Structure 1
Amino acid sequence: MKKVFALIASLVAVVTLSACEPKRGSDAWCKKMDSVPKGQWTMNDAGDYTKYCVFNQKPEEE
């Protein structure tokens, strides 16, 4: 029973923490990307960083 509870607690923690990701293109996202090594960026990350953080374009509203 303890293992099941621990598994459920772990899943809840993962879901909760993954929901805290800053919106792509926001100032918080730009600051977060500044701390990530460039070698770990995807092509989409690099393109969006250039678009939103370098050229200061606003992300489209969803």
Structure 2
Amino acid sequence: MYKTLIAIFSLVLFTACAPEVGSKDWCEQLKEKPKGDWSANEATDYTKHCLFKSDDEE
């Protein structure tokens, strides 16, 4: 039970540190990451939110 609580706490702690997908911080963070390390979802989200960002998303 103790290990499960530690695992859940760790997961919440680390996911809270990641910037929201599509945010300015997320786009900057992905720019610095080597493109060969991007997942297909990251590439799609980057294209959608960072390259072709519409005015209503700002």
TM-score by length of 2: 0.69
The number of residue pairs the alignment matches comes to: 53
Residues 43-62 of structure 1 mapped to structure 2, 5 A cutoff: 43-57=40-54, 58=57
Segments ≥4 residues shifted beyond 4 Å: 11-15
TM-score by length of 1: 0.65
* Alignment partner of 1:21 out of 18, 21, 40: 18
Q: Please state how far the C-alpha of 1:19 moved relative to its aligned partner.
A: 1.6
Give the helix-richer structure, 1 or 2.
2
1:4 aligns with none
Give the unaligned 5+ runs of structure 1: 1-7
2:3 aligns with none
Which is greater in Rg?
1
Give the unaligned 5+ runs of structure 2: 1-5
Q: Please state how far the C-alpha of 1:17 moved relative to its aligned partner.
A: 3.5
Distance of 2:20 and 2:38 partners within structure 1? 16
Provide the aligned C-alpha RMSD in A: 2.3
